[in-house]
């Protein structure tokens, strides 16, 4: 099935370290500037979701990741934009990221503290799933 013309296909990484997850704050000059999100980005033509995620994380955070299971795939409509965000669990292959080309802040947050951040609308479904899986464990 083809994506709707105005639908943006985006992938994000839920990068875990110990019992914390990496959250990134969008640069103020971007859409949803100042809001937190899981790192990732848009697919390029011909890329699989996993290929796009590895490329985006390398471009944004200058680190390599191992992509794991799909956590969520949700469609969010906000400000006339339809965003299909697929989030994958991921792990760092080596060092942790120190900076981002797309974000003005990076932080490691416990899953129970995730709701305290001001998340971009498309990232809320993944926050809720992370919380419910954490509560079940």
Between CA 80 and CA 71 the distance in angstroms is 25
> In sequence order, what are the beta bridge partners of 65?
92
Task: Give the Cα separation of 57 and 130 in Å (integer).
Answer: 20
Domains defined along the chain, listed by start: 7-136 (3.90.79.10)
The per-residue pLDDT of the chain, averaged, comes to: 91
Question: What pLDDT sits at residue 31?
Answer: 85
Q: Is the pLDDT of residue 1 over 80?
A: no
Contact of 71 with 130, CB cutoff 8 Å: yes
Global pTM reads 0.90
Task: Give pLDDT tens digits for 27-72.
Answer: 999 888 999 999 999 999 999 999 999 999 999 999 999 999 999 9
Quick: pLDDT tens for 64-95.
999 999 999 999 998 788 989 999 999 999 88
């Amino acid at each position: 099935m083809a994506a709707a013309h105005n639908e943006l296909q985006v992938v994000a990484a839920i990068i875990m370290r110990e019992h914390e997850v990496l959250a990134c704050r969008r640069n103020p000059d971007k859409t949803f500037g100042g809001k937190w999100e899981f790192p990732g980005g848009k697919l390029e033509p011909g890329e699989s979701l996993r290929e796009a995620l590895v490329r985006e994380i390398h471009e944004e955070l200058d680190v390599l990741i191992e992509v794991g299971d799909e956590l969520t795939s949700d469609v969010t409509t906000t400000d006339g934009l339809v965003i299909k965000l697929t989030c994958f669990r991921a792990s760092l292959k080596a060092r942790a990221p120190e900076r981002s080309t797309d974000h003005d802040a990076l932080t490691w947050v416990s899953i129970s503290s995730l709701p305290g951040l001001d998340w971009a609308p498309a990232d809320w479904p993944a926050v809720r799933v992370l919380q419910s899986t954490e509560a079940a464990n």
